């Protein structure tokens, strides 16, 4: 089976398992785990910040970021299909008392004018003051789209001008950096707080970082404990993340090239793919209204894909465990599955 549902599905490689097995560990809560400490040092550098804090998941990193950047009753601005909005169970309201306002995005992005138009009067005794803006890059539900650097710079500048905290949900930041051809720190360094995930394109079993200033990361360490994320011999997992920083960053370009080839191959075979959307490791395929059936038929042909927020669209995501041969097979199997679909619906008509 060629599993293109998500880049979260990677299995740790033998070399990563070797790094895990030989990790030196200690009590992470006491800051005595040398492998976690090294990951936090390297991670801070990688993200262009003073300090980083190791966490089990990117969801926890996002929730901690929002809690430490705002106060209960504040408003958070985020694109309306962002992970924070759709897939974190209303966490900003539940954990941090934030009012989340969804901005209408284009390709997962929004403009400085949209931010400015949602800024509320902080002296009012009625309205929730806008305090935090989150940017998601790459943007998952927009199809792994990457923000152009100039647009990020403009959002950050607007936030600075209006005294708004700015957070980057960079769960797939490495994909964004590779797509833009810049170091991760060039994108992440300008934000107040940054989330990055190790269990997606970087191929680790779990793990995430939040990064920011020393002062903010002191608050993040309290948040980590508060959310139940302070661990013990976590170097076992941090060793995988260190391995990934060393070996799995540059190779993300291969995932992007494979996604591109998949998109081109499918388009050539008459499948409804918009190549302009294929900027990183996601290929969005419009299969029409009978999406569930299309997914089943692809599965029968040996390819797994997943749904998206768009009712007729499925996504195929390339990752560490997908080879060139898998792409060739998928280019043959997906159109065959969809063609059977079309002929069936014609004969039913």
Q: Which residues bind ligand PLP (CB under 6 A)?
A: 57-59, 62, 83, 136, 140, 169, 171, 197, 199, 208
CB of 293 to ligand PLP, least distance (A): 25
In DSSP terms, which residues pair with 3 in a beta bridge? 304
CB of 349 to ligand PLP, least distance (A): 38
> What CA–CA distances, in Å, run from 189 to 98, 99, 152, 250?
25, 26, 11, 19
CB of 82 to ligand PLP, least distance (A): 7
CB of 56 to ligand PLP, least distance (A): 8
Q: Is the peptide bond before 248 cis (omega within 30 degrees of 0)?
A: no
**Nearer to ligand PLP among residue 66 and residue 331 (C-beta):** 66
**Nearer to ligand PLP among residue 62 and residue 130 (C-beta):** 62
CB of 8 to ligand PLP, least distance (A): 6
DSSP string for residues in 43-100:
HHHHHTSSEEEEES-HHHHHHHHHHHH--TT-EEEEETTSHHHHSSTTHHHHHH-PEE
**Nearer to ligand PLP among residue 194 and residue 295 (C-beta):** 194
Q: Outline where the chain has alpha helix (H).
A: 14-21, 34-47, 58-69, 83-86, 91-96, 112-117, 149-161, 173-180, 184-188, 214-226, 235-247, 252-268, 291-300, 324-348
**Nearer to ligand PLP among residue 57 and residue 130 (C-beta):** 57
**Nearer to ligand PLP among residue 83 and residue 145 (C-beta):** 83
């Amino acid at each position: 089976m060629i599993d293109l549902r998500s880049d979260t599905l990677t299995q740790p490689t033998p070399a990563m398992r070797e790094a895990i097995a030989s990790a030196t560990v200690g009590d992470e809560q006491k800051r005595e785990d040398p492998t976690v400490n090294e990951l936090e040092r390297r991670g801070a550098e990688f993200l262009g910040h003073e300090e980083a804090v190791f966490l089990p998941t990117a969801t926890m990193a996002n929730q901690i970021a929002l809690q430490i950047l705002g106060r209960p009753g504040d408003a958070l601005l985020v694109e309306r299909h962002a992970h924070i909005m759709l897939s974190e169970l209303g966490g900003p309201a539940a954990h941090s008392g934030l009012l989340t306002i969804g901005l209408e995005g284009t390709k997962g992005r929004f403009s400085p004018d949209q931010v400015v138009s949602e800024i509320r009067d902080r002296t009012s005794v009625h309205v929730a003051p806008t305090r935090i803006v989150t940017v998601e890059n790459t943007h998952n539900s927009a199809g792994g789209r990457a923000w152009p650097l100039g647009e990020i710079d403009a959002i950050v500048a607007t936030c600075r001008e209006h005294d708004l905290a700015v957070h980057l949900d960079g769960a797939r930041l490495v994909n964004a950096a590779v797509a833009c051809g810049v170091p991760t720190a060039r994108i992440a360094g300008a934000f107040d707080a940054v989330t990055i995930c190790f269990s997606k394109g970087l191929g680790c079993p779990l793990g995430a970082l939040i990064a920011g200033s020393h002062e903010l990361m002191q608050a993040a360490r309290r948040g980590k404990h508060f959310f139940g994320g302070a661990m013990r011999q976590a170097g076992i997992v941090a060793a995988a993340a260190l391995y990934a920083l060393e070996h799995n960053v540059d190779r993300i370009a291969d995932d992007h090239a494979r996604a591109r080839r998949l998109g081109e191959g499918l388009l050539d075979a008459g499948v409804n793919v918009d190549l302009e959307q294929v900027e990183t490791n996601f290929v969005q395929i419009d299969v029409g209204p009978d999406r569930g059936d299309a997914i089943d038929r692809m599965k029968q042909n040996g390819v797994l894909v997943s749904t998206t927020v768009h009712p007729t669209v499925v996504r195929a995501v390339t990752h560490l465990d997908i080879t060139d041969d898998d792409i060739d097979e998928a280019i043959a199997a997906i159109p065959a599955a969809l063609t059977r679909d079309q002929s069936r619906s014609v004969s039913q008509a």
